[in-house]
Structure formats: structure tokens, C-alpha cells
Amino acid sequence: MSLVFCENTRGFTRVAVVVSKKVEKTAVGRNRIRRRIYEVIRKNFDLIPSRRDYIFVVYNGDVVNMPFSELEKVLGELVAESKVCYNNK
């Protein structure tokens, strides 16, 4: 996965998850990946600074079978690596 972010002037945070057909052929599978990532973001939303746009790009379909705790860890590491997060959680 990768994370792209930039400042916005809207005054609130926007988040998008992009999953290509190359990753998962069915719409059901792509939507499941999106829902799982959105849930991790929702649970940990207070760690993400506001007034930015975030785009999570998924390159691998292993997210479908990944345990939720591991997915939280992977996304947390991704945000920490990008240095967008104020605290190192």
C-alpha cells in the first residue's frame, strides 16, 4: 500500500481508498477491501491531522484475508513512515 496526502483549504479531512481491478477482479472484493481500510481509519481517526486529503492506494489483494489487527498495524506503519502523524502511534 501507499499513502498520498496534501493540504486542503476546505477545513476538514477527506480520505479515499483506491483499489484497482488488477488487485481484485470483483467489485465485491474491492469494496470489502475499502470497507476494512475505512474501518481502521475510522477507529484511529484522531491520530490523523485534519485539513488534509489522504489517498490510500492498495497494490496487493492480501488485505482481504489479513487479520484486522495486522491491517491496523500495517496502516499505522504506513502513516508513521509518511511522517504525517504528530505522535508516533
Q: Tell me what pLDDT residue 85 has.
A: 58
Whether 88 is covered by a domain: the verdict is: no
Distance between the two ends of the chain, CA-based, in angstroms? 18
- Tally of domains in the chain: 1
Whether 73 is covered by a domain: the verdict is: yes
In terms of residue numbers, what domain contains 64? 2-82
CA distance 45 to 13: 10
Whether 63 is covered by a domain: the verdict is: yes
10-69 pLDDT tens trace: 888 889 999 999 999 999 999 999 999 999 989 887 767 778 888 999 998 888 889 999
CATH code of the domain in which 70 resides: 3.30.230.10
Q: Tell me what pLDDT residue 89 has.
A: 43
Q: Give the pTM.
A: 0.82
**Residue indicated by cell numbers 495486522:** 70
